[in-house]
Every structure is written in C-alpha cells, then in structure tokens.
C-alpha cells in the first residue's frame, strides 16, 4: 500500500513537472533553466527516430561529463561485443550532450527525458532495446519501471550510494524497491552493495564489480593540450579542477600566497559549470592576475603562459592534470561532495582535496592512506600544502608515483561489468527462445 502511494505520488509530481516544462519552454521571457527543460520532453527529430528504429539498441545513461568519461571504456567494449547494435548515450546536461555527440562510441546521443510516464514512453517507443545501463546513482523510478514492463535487461554500472541518500533511506525505500526490482546492480564497493540492498534491491541481483573510473584511459592529447604545454615552457602549473562558487576565491588566495618567491607558477582554473566562466574570470581580474582563456592559447608565444589560465572548454581537464605538478580537485572545500580524484591520480600527480568528499569517499581515503593525497580544510591549509609540495620536489614525485600505482591496482572493473552484462543478456535470450 505504501509503495503504491509513493509511486503514484512520484509519478503525479513528475507529470506536473513535465507539463510545466512544456508550457514554460514555449513562453517568452521564461528563465533559461526552464526553457532548457523543454529539451527533456522525450521528443526525437525525424532523423533520430529513423535511426532509433533501424536496429536493436544498447543504451548507456551517464548524468555528467565525468561519469560519461568514466563509462566510455565499458561503452567501447559493449560496442565491440554487440557489434551490430545501435549504441545510444544519454546525459542530463547540455555539456554532457555535447561530449556524447563527439564520442565515437555513440551512434545516437540525447538528453534523458523528465521521469514522467508520458515523456518516458514517448522517447522509448521507437527503440528496440536489448539492454539499458545507467551509472552510479541515476535511479529514475518511472523509467526503470517502464523498462521492466518492456522486458529490457537493465544494469546499474559502477553503482554508488552516498551517505546523503542513506539519510533518507526510510522514505526512499518504498519508491526505490519498486524501481530496482529488476535491475542488476554492479556496485563499486561492498559498502555500496549493502546500501543498495538497504534501499530495496534484490539480493540476487547485487554484485561488487568495482569503479569504472579506475579503468579510464586518456586518449592521445588533442592539439590544444599540446599548445598549452608549449605555452607553459618551464613554468610549473597547479591545476584546480571542477571548482565551485566559493571555492575559486580560496584557490586564488592560496595561489597568490604561494606565488610569492615562486615566480615560475601558473594556475589552471577549471570551473565545474561552464555558465560560471564569466564570473570566475571577473574574480581572477579582481585579484590582479594576468589571465588567458584556454581557447585563446594559440595566440601565446612559447613559454609565455600568464599567471592564470581559465579552462573554458569541456573535455581536456584530464589531459591538463598531466601537464600540472599538483592537482586540487574541487567541490570539496565547499559542501558539494567532491569530484573525480582518479583523473589526476592516473596522471601521476599528488592530489589535494577539501573536507567534503562524500561522493568519492572510498577512493579519497585510499589515496590518503596510500600517501598519494592530502586533505586540506581552508585556504590557509591549502597554502601550506601547496608550498610544502612545491618546495619538496622529491616528495611531490613520490606522491605522484603512489597515486598512479593505486589507480593501476584498482583496474579490471570494465571486464567484470562486461561479464555480468553478457551473462544476463544470454539468460534473457535463452528464456525468450524457450518461452
């Protein structure tokens, strides 16, 4: 009874949200965030509809740019294993969609619809889905229920359940138990497995397969990264990746203080959200630093990088970590939960994080315990950590080696995921053939 009420209330709320988004997307003067929701109403162009109906499909959903980058090795192996299938990739953001459309593994890229029955059915209608995979914590009850009703094998890959979700487990369980009933959950850790069980997943369908982020391998650097390398010359670069509002100010203050007596430093500042670029550029100028945008590096002479470079392009952050000497990973000095620490660790760079790393708690603790990362709590402690490493190059290099070794030791998740997916699909085909 409680479960039916929870599902009904959720679907009613999402249906109302979809109706509001449909109306708002058509009205002049509507805020941009509401107009953007109009792209998440399950509509396909004629060309997309023809492509969707042309062949059986395997679908991967990754909410963010980071999750999509982490899942690409799995997508690549799925495309190799199921060669004649259409590979569909969906995201939640326009920046993620831009990356998905440039991803060679994807035949079709789109935005996931709002989780209302009408929008979900509209989008799924033309597809002949053989499998649907979704990353980390992207549990959408209406979508998952519709996939189950259609008999589509569904997989949570690189699954993660944060402590914040567990604080609301009592209220989420009636909704999530219904959504997860037919989902094979491939979890990052044993703790994640126990948490997804507490949310109502079927114990027979829960396995620990590891984090796909450990298996990510950077491709050859694009030409613009090589231009950045040339612009740096002999300068040492500190990379502050995925920063949020309130964090940029602390990073800039720490950089100002460590710059004293170390004139060979450059800071690469990479805001998490592109819409904040103009505001962050204003902060840099207000702090009195010479600034160049990453997209303008072609205009710089070799070795002429300014004090601060603003990363205004989606995609190259992982390559930029490899050009730096130290990495600070944002979303951690402010209460966001932290972002991907494996990209700088894979590049062999010491990693600095703030106190808020709930989204990657297990990985961060492994890096800290292994001598590959340091936790800071403020701009003041960030100054001390940066200055200490910059003045001890041997220690800095040792932390980088430890970071890379820890990442290499966690690899193998892609093949574990692939075995689970392939086994389930084989069982499904057998059941259909004999049913």
Catalytic positions? 67
Using CA atoms of 46, 48, 54, 58 in order, give the dihedral in degrees to the nearest 10.
-160
Residue partners of 52: CB distance under 8 A and separation at least 6:
44, 86, 88, 108, 126, 127
Residue pair 211/183 in contact by the 8 Å Cβ criterion? no
Of residues 227 and 183, more confidently modeled: 183
Tokens read off for 158: 């690189």
Angle between helices 2-24 and 117-124 in degrees, nearest 10: 70
pLDDT in tens, 67-99: 888 899 999 999 998 888 999 999 988 888 888
Residue whose pair of structure tokens reads 């990754």 in the numeric block: 62
- List, for residues 344-365, the tens digit of each pLDDT value: 999 999 999 999 998 888 899 9
What is the spatial distance between Cα 125 and Cα 377, in angstroms, rounded to a whole number?
50
Lowest mean pLDDT among 220-234, 262-276, 283-297, 349-363: 220-234
Q: What is the pLDDT of residues 50-59, one digit of tens each?
A: 999 888 999 9
Structure tokens at 18: 């979809």
pTM attached to this predicted model: 0.79
From CA 173, how far away is CA 178, in angstroms rounded?
Answer: 8
10, 13, 19, 20 alpha-carbon torsion, rounded to 10°? -140
């Amino acid at each position: 009874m409680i479960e039916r009420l929870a599902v009904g209330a959720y679907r009613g709320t999402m249906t109302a949200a979809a109706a509001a988004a449909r109306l708002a997307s058509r009205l002049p003067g509507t805020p941009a965030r509401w107009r953007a929701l109009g792209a998440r109403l399950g509509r396909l162009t004629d060309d997309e509809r023809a492509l969707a109906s042309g062949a059986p499909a395997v679908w991967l959903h990754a909410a963010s740019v980071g999750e999509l980058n982490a899942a690409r090795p799995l997508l690549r192996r799925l495309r190799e294993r199921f060669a004649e299938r259409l590979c569909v990739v969906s995201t939640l953001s326009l920046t993620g969609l831009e990356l998905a459309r440039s991803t060679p593994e994807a035949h079709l890229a789109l935005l996931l619809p709002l989780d209302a029955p009408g929008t979900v059915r509209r989008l799924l209608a033309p597809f002949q889905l053989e499998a649907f995979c979704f990353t980390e914590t992207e549990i959408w009850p209406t979508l998952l229920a519709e996939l189950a009703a259609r008999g589509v094998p569904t997989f949570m890959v690189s699954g993660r359940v944060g402590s914040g979700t567990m604080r609301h487990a009592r209220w989420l369980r009636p909704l999530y138990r219904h959504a997860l009933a037919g989902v094979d959950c491939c979890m990052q850790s044993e703790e994640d497995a126990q948490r997804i069980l507490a949310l109502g997943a079927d114990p027979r369908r829960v396995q620990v397969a590891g984090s796909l982020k450990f298996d990510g391998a950077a491709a050859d650097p694009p030409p613009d990264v090589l231009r950045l390398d040339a612009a740096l010359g002999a300068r040492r670069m500190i990379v502050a990746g995925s920063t949020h509002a309130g964090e940029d100010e602390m990073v800039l203050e720490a950089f100002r203080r460590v710059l004293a007596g170390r004139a060979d430093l450059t800071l690469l500042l990479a805001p998490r959200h592109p819409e904040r670029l103009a505001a962050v550029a204003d902060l840099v100028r207000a702090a009195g630093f010479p600034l160049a945008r990453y997209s303008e590096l072609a205009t710089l002479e070799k070795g002429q990088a300014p004090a601060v470079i603003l990363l205004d392009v989606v995609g190259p952050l992982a390559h930029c970590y490899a050009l730096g000497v130290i990495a600070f990973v944002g979303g951690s000095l402010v209460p966001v939960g932290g972002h991907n620490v494996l990209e700088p660790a894979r590049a062999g760079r010491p990693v600095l994080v703030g106190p808020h790393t709930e989204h990657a708690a297990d990985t961060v603790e492994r890096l800290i315990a292994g001598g590959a990362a340091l936790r800071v709590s403020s701009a003041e402690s960030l100054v001390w950590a940066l200055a200490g490493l910059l003045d001890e190059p041997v220690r800095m290099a040792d932390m980088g080696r430890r970071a890379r070794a820890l990442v290499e030791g966690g690899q193998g998740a892609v093949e574990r995921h692939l075995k689970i997916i392939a086994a389930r699909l084989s069982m499904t085909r057998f059941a259909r053939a004999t049913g």
